[in-house]
Amino acid sequence: MAEESFQGFTKKTLPFLKNLARNNDKAWFELHKQDFIDHVRTPLRLLVDALAPAMLKIDPGFDVDPKGVAVSRIHKDVRFSRDKSPYRVRQWIAFRHRRDDWQTRPTFYMGIGPDGCRYGMGFYQATPAVMKAIRTRIQAKPVEFQTAIMAMTKAGFQIQGDAYARPKIPEGVTPEIQEWHRRKTVYFIQELAADEAFYSNALVGKLKKGFLAAAPLYRFLAELPPI
């Protein structure tokens, strides 16, 4: 795609995903496949290309191949799902490590769908062992952790993730650290407005700024001992 550059999503990107949500079947998709390619897949791949240099500075181990795992597939794996609709109505880009155990490390992501647009950084589904290692690292390096969290808060990211019904929270820890004891997995997210920047190259700069603000916490979380 060297001859092309990201110029924003098109005015047909979000309407296509909304229509797909209402018509999630093969017959409809085959009639509108070119719309998917032009208004969803191609812009997402170009966005990965545009962000790749900045993301590799954060972590040279990221997979930035826009035709690989960095861009979501439209087809769902419905073998183990009650929902047998064949297509993903939410599409995304994700910068994750090339290591086989990539799920033990956080991932940067940006997603678009009928329910809106958002981006952030965190774990796809952290294991109990990963969360335990993170809590241990937080206790060992509280100043580094607090500095990284402050950068995330200042940039507008909010912490989310499935929570325990009865979390075990040590006495005397700060509210920021309490969140890491409440949750089974952790990720940070920020809503992304479908504004003028969304439909232009300015989106690249907006995402870079957010991802760079998240970089200190990413490195803090990625530098765990082997799980």
Handedness of CA 166, 170, 172, 173 (dihedral sign): negative
Instruction: Name beta bridge partners: 188.
Output: 121, 159
Q: What is this structure's pTM?
A: 0.93
Per residue of the chain (227 residues), what is the pLDDT tens digit? 445 799 999 999 999 999 999 999 999 999 999 999 999 999 999 999 999 999 999 999 999 999 999 999 999 887 777 778 999 999 999 999 988 788 889 999 999 999 999 999 999 889 999 999 999 999 999 999 999 999 999 999 999 999 999 999 988 888 889 999 999 999 999 999 999 999 999 999 999 999 999 999 999 999 887 66
- Domain range summary for the chain, segments of one domain joined by +: 13-222
Name the one residue in this structure whose structure tokens are 């047909």.
Answer: 12
Residue 15 identity (one-letter amino acid)? P
Alpha carbon separation from 184 to 27, 76, 131 (Å, rounded)? 40, 25, 7
Residue 116 identity (one-letter amino acid)? G
Q: What is the DSSP string of 97-152?
A: BSSTTGGGS-EEEEEEETTEEEEEEE-SS--HHHHHHHHHHHHH-HHHHHHHHHHH
Task: Say how far residue 149 (Cα) sits from the centre of its chain.
Answer: 17
Instruction: Name beta bridge partners: 158.
Output: 189
CA distance 28 to 124: 31
Q: Residue 94 in 3-state DSSP? A: strand
CA distance 54 to 44: 16
Q: Which two tokens stand for residue 71?
A: 């861009």
Q: What is the DSSP string of 159-207?
A: EE--B-SS----TT--HHHHHHHHBSS-EEEEE---STGGGSTHHHHHH
pLDDT at 125: 87
CATH superfamily of 13-222: Protein of unknown function DUF1054 (3.30.930.20)
Any long-range contacts for 150-156 (C-beta under 8 Å, 24+ apart)? Answer: 151/213, 151/214, 151/216, 151/217, 152/188, 152/213, 152/214, 152/217, 154/213, 155/190, 155/209, 155/210, 155/213, 155/214, 156/190, 156/210
Is residue 227 within a helix (H) or strand (E), and if so which, with residue range? none
